Chain A
């Protein structure tokens, strides 16, 4: 079953991961920071908004240390994602193997696939998918760092846009389920809130507002 997850990770998810982490690796190189830092950020943080917040702070007067709280807040979506994912990984200690890989891409695909799998196949599927995606992220970061001088800014921008396109496709393909449709609709409608909040908590604030309203709507609707 890990192979099924690995195979699935090598399609559209790999393209989305590769494009995003390639652009990150190039941005790190452009900031004059070494490959070791880039790889540690991609493989150990493994959450692009927080990585970008930290990178943007390097060389500024406050420095990267001052940006840590903002970077943590930018990745705070890990908490609700881990909560939503945990019950599908089983109650045993094995679920802790998934800890480093809880990020948007593995989470989104796992929430599509795991409910349909037998209980004992879920964790292996997730680990197969997540390890493959993680490997793609590392290789792409290194590739971006090496290729940075050859990549014009508009190519980097287009590569970064692959990521929201991919997530848009995932939520659109799942939007037939009323639960998903409500959360997506209210999350999109809550987006103006993100423009009013401090950048580090903007997305999470919109997600909390939209997601909580969608949850309450679902309770009223009985589904």
Chain B
């Protein structure tokens, strides 16, 4: 087995272990148990930090999109969400806004 394949196998095992640990610990807890509520709060906060980072201080390929494109994309997505709800139309609007903002920016 090559080093890249071994690294991937180790990551696969670790991810299964992390998922399994969560299922094992919380499988018999009620949804409103404080530990479950705390875990949900941490997950949501992590998601919010991920989105904020991607818009404000992206790294890698995302950094190729100008700030104007990222802001217009998010703004268009949220505007369509507030206007007509759903997820697909706001997502398409966000993608269009990103491309438009990238061209203009």
A contact residues vs B (CB 8 Å cutoff)? 11-13, 15-16, 23, 27, 33, 37, 40-41, 44-47, 50, 52, 54, 56-58, 63-65, 67-68, 71-72, 75-89, 91, 95-96, 98-100, 102, 104, 107-108, 111, 115, 153-154, 156-158, 160-173, 179-180, 182-188, 190-191, 194-195, 199, 202-204, 206-212, 214-215, 218-219
Q: Which of A11, A54, A78, A212 has the most CB of B within 10 A?
A: A78
Chain B 1-49 interface residues, beta-carbon cutoff 8 Å to A:
3-8, 10-12, 14-16, 18-23, 25-31, 33-49
Task: Say whether B62 contacts A81, CB under 8 Å.
Answer: no
Of A33, A87, A89, A195, the contact of B4 (CB 8 Å cutoff): A33
Main secondary structure of the interface of A (DSSP, over half): helix
Q: How far is the CA of A79 from the CA of B11 in the complex (A)?
A: 14
Can you report 25 residue pairs joining A to B where beta carbons are below 8 Å apart? A12-B86, A45-B15, A64-B8, A65-B6, A71-B11, A72-B14, A78-B19, A82-B21, A86-B22, A87-B26, A87-B33, A161-B73, A161-B95, A164-B51, A164-B54, A166-B87, A169-B94, A171-B51, A190-B49, A199-B59, A207-B43, A210-B45, A212-B38, A215-B34, A215-B38
Task: Say whether A91 contacts B51, CB under 8 Å.
Answer: no
Of B15, B98, B102, the contact of A47 (CB 8 Å cutoff): B15
Task: Say whether A161 contacts B70, CB under 8 Å.
Answer: yes
CB nearest neighbor in B for A186 = B45
Chain B 55-96 interface residues, beta-carbon cutoff 8 Å to A:
55-57, 59-62, 64-65, 69-70, 73-74, 77-78, 81, 85-88, 90-92, 94-95
Q: How far is the CB of B55 from chain A (nearest CB, A)?
A: 7
Task: Say whether B48 contacts A154, CB under 8 Å.
Answer: no
Of B30, B41, B95, B98, the contact of A211 (CB 8 Å cutoff): B41
Of A91, A166, A212, the contact of B42 (CB 8 Å cutoff): A212
Given A71-B7, A167-B47, A185-B48, list of 11 further CB < 8 A pairs? A12-B88, A45-B8, A78-B15, A79-B18, A79-B19, A84-B36, A86-B22, A86-B23, A161-B70, A210-B46, A214-B45
Task: Say whether A87 contacts B47, CB under 8 Å.
Answer: no
CB-defined contacts of A185 to chain B, threshold 8 Å:
48
Task: Say whether B46 contacts A204, CB under 8 Å.
Answer: yes
CB-defined contacts of B16 to chain A, threshold 8 Å:
99-100
B contact residues vs A (CB 8 Å cutoff)? 3-8, 10-12, 14-16, 18-23, 25-31, 33-57, 59-62, 64-65, 69-70, 73-74, 77-78, 81, 85-88, 90-92, 94-95, 98-99, 102
Task: Say whether B15 contacts A211, CB under 8 Å.
Answer: no
Q: How far is the CA of A65 from the CA of B7 in the complex (A)?
A: 5
CB-defined contacts of B31 to chain A, threshold 8 Å:
87-88, 115
Q: How far is the CA of A120 from the CA of B64 in the complex (A)?
A: 46
CB-defined contacts of A173 to chain B, threshold 8 Å:
81, 85, 87
